[in-house]
Structure 1
Amino acid sequence: MMTNLFSSFDPNSTYFMLSNWLSTFCLFFLMPSSFWLMKGRTAVAFFQPVSILFNEFKSLISNSKHTIMFSALFFIFLFNNFLGLFPYIFTSSSHLVMNLSVAAPMWMSFMLYGWITQMNHMLAHLVPQSTPGPLMPFMVLIETTSNLIRPGTLAVRLTANMIAGHLLMTLLGNQTASSSTAVLIILLIVQVLLITLEGAVAIIQAYVFSILTTLYSSEV
């Protein structure tokens, strides 16, 4: 019996290496191989959205080599978000430690690269154009604060959106045991609608995470 509603998101493995977190790397075993003579349906279905995302990210940053990293980031989070829609499968992207472990190093690398190679550009970015002189110290403080909280907002946004739908489905699922037939049918319909909504949220949140990371990198 759950004593805490959030305990459904806790990893329950007791092995030396938590097997729940291994689900994060299952994507690498399911990716289509590029060594076949002819591309199958799985490869075609995979590479078509990859090319669309590649063109989308390429329009935001000048270096096309970096778009591969952001496309891979999108598919990793998309795969992990969808894992949470299956029963008894651990969702690593619903944990703040997972999302912050990805967002913080990437943000730190962008900041270090910008301040080391383009210090004047980074200093000028702290004060927007046409800012009145008396407001410049406040704008520097506001821009510095917004830059510092970027990894936290990226991680919290993804975590909160993934947890919210799962908690709602858990609450509705706990009401099925003591419900009448009419209420049970309504709950099942609502559950199906929620799963459809969660599928859309999984795609949108993976896209938002990757596109915001791309926008942060384009500033430097």
Structure 2
Amino acid sequence: MMTNLFSVFDPTSSIMSFSMNWISTVMGIMMMPMMFWIIPTRIMIMWNKIVNTLHNEFKTLLGTSGKNGSTFMFIAVFSTIMFNNFMGLFPYIFTSSSHLAFTLTLALPLWISFMLYGWINHTQHMFAHLVPQGTPPVLMPFMVCIETISNMIRPGTLAVRLAANMIAGHLLMTLLGNTGPSVTYSIMTLLIITQILLLTLESAVAIIQSYVFAVLSTLYSSEVN
């Protein structure tokens, strides 16, 4: 019996005290060996179009000062998050992207590397970012504090946004699913239709949240150039 509603997100299956649920994070390596495909399939062509679209969009966001090839780092982040979000929609597969251990592991190194690069190479530019243009002299100390705090909480907001959105949908589906054995057949039909609609919504959320994470990371990196 489930004692805690959030226990559905806990890694419980283990072998020799090693949690096996986190294997779903790297399961794509075993499931999608695309580099061994000789003839391009429709899925491969569709994925190449998605990657090219993301590359052009991230290149526009980074601007002319962005380094060549830096867009592929954000495309890789997008692909990793989207794959893990979709893996969590399958029954009995652990949703690693609903845990802060996963999301912070992605957000913190990106933010720290952006900050280090900016403060070491463009120190004056980073100081200028702390005071927006046109700020009255009286408000400058307050603006510096506000901008510093907003910079400091960026990795937290990235991580919490992704984890909270994945947890919210899964919790709603779990709550509705637990009411199944205690309802009549007419309500059960309505419940199944609602679950299918929720699953469709979660599929959209899986793509949107990975896209939002990648776009915000790209915007944060464009500010330090």
Task: Tell me, yes or no, whether TM beats 0.5.
Answer: yes
Counterpart in 2 of 1:190? 194
Q: How does 1:32-111 map to 2 (within 5 A)?
A: 32-34=33-35, 36-61=37-62, 62-111=66-115
Contact 2:14 2:21 in 1 (8 A): no
Q: State how far apart, in whole Å, the 2-side matches of 1:135 and 1:38 are.
A: 62
Shift of 1:15: 1.9
Could you tell me which runs of 5 or more consecutive residues in structure 1 were left unpaired when the two chains were aligned: none
SS of structure 2 residue aligned to 1:24: helix
Question: Structure 2 CA distance, aligned partners of 1:186 and 1:37?
Answer: 46
Structure-2 change in CA distance of 1:181 and 1:14 (3 Å): same
**TM-score of the aligned structures, taking structure 1 as reference length:** 0.96
Moved more, 1-10 or 58-67: 58-67
More deviation, 20-29/116-125: 20-29
TM-score under structure 2 length normalisation: 0.94
User: Which residue is 1:135 aligned to?
Assistant: 139
Q: Which amino acid aligns with 2:21?
A: N
Cα-to-partner distance string for 1:130-180 (whole Å, 9 max, x where unaligned): 000000000000000000000000000001100001000100011110101
Q: Is the contact between residue 32 and residue 43 of structure 1 (CA under 8 Å) also seen in structure 2?
A: no
Contact 1:93 1:162 in 2 (8 A): yes
Partner of 1:161: 165
- Give structure 1 regions of 4+ aligned residues with deviation exceeding 6 angstroms: none
Q: Confirm or deny: 8 A CA contact 2:100 2:160 kept in the other structure.
A: yes
The Cα RMSD (Å) is: 1.3
> Deviation digits for residues 72-111 of structure 1, max 9, x if unmatched?
1001000000111110000100001110111011100100
1:148 to 139, 147, 152: 152
Question: How many matched pairs?
Answer: 220
